[in-house]
Amino acid sequence: MLIKYDDLLKVFEEILLSRGFSKENANSAASVFANNSLDGIYSHGVNRFPRVVSYLDKGEIDPKVVPSKEFGFNGFERWNGHRGFGPLNAKLSMDRACDLASQYGIGCVGLGNSNHWMRGGSYGWQAANRGMIGICWSNTTANMPAWGGLEPKIGNNPLVMAVPRSNGQHVVLDCAVSQYSYGKIEMTRMEGKKLPFPGGFDTKGNLTDDPAEIEKTGRVLPMGYWKGSGLSILLDLIATILTNANPVNKIKTFNDEVGLSQVFIAIDPSKVNNSSLTDEIVNNIIDDIHSSTPVNPKSKVLYPGENEYLTRLENTKNGIPVLDEVWQKIQSCVRR
């Protein structure tokens, strides 16, 4: 089915209000899920929303707590999320990083003891919409084996990098350091499809493109094999050092994926270039990427974030596609 953005936003907001959110925070949080869905990131939009509501109902997330600053100096601040609502904590943290960058040229916020931020790319777009280069990442629970190992020891810690353009068509990379995020694997299974490329191991230890098999074993494939494994470890180390909060191996002892450590960095390019020069640099590189000869003559080589931008235009015009079983789950969260 297709659902208009405003209608979806209203349903999300109503459900969050019924779970104790203030009007302002309910709208802000609902917009994260609605915008993710609008951009075609359904795995962290409509599909993930019922699970987040279950965390609220179990008391894993307190909708009333707000993050607090522990200390800061120059362009760096450390914040405690107090296990509050992940997307709201993350939005505040990226805003603070951008504020610091406006003052110092670069700003960095370490946010500890927070919760799942949903789609990390949201905060890359947020920074870019303020004219900032944005870099952020989060650790996760242990959901991926270190390269050469069998059991999950490291996280598929999502990494985001964003570069602004004055026309709003920003360049935004949002990637888990696994070949596919668990959200993508779940979405592919729900659609009854196979992954485009092998994304993990089956119960016999073989690489597979079957999402259901990967969910059984929990052995997702690090992107770039040992390179993705090493990147995951370093992202966890840096996030834990800057926040003095929870590393992956401690998060895995919690009942759910909560108490995460995250880092938000913003860089103000206006300190070194005017916007016309930055646009010229970015457009020159993007134009060269677009000039690539596609492997499939019917397709086009896209830059990171372009598909989300095009999907946003299409879904704004036609409505957001939502699976029937997902809509039923969302409707079941409504308190009448």
Catalytic option among 44, 82, 170, 290: 44
Nearest CA-CA partner of 266 in 91, 89, 80? 91
How is residue 162 written in tokens? 């964003």
Output DSSP code: residue 270: G
Strand partners, 262: 111, 138
Q: What are phi and psi of 153, to 5 degrees?
A: -130, -20
| CA 280, chain centre distance (Å) | 28
Residue carrying structure tokens 């951008």: 98
178 three-class SS: strand
Active site residue 170: no
* Residue 165 burial class via C-beta count within 10 angstroms: exposed 0-12, middle 13-18, buried 19 and up: middle
- The whole-angstrom separation of Cα 239 and Cα 223 is 20
Nearest CA-CA partner of 251 in 152, 181, 185? 152
How is residue 126 written in tokens? 């947020």
* Residues 142 and 124: beta-carbon distance below 8 Å: no
Element (H, E) at 259: strand 258-267
How many other CB atoms sit within 10 Å of the CB of residue 212? 14
User: What would the DSSP string read from start to end of 101-164?
Assistant: HHHHSEEEEEEEEEE--S-THHHHHHHHHTT-EEEEEE--SS-EEPTT-SSEEE----EEEEE-
Nearest CA-CA partner of 141 in 128, 127, 132, 153? 153
| Catalytic residue annotation | 44
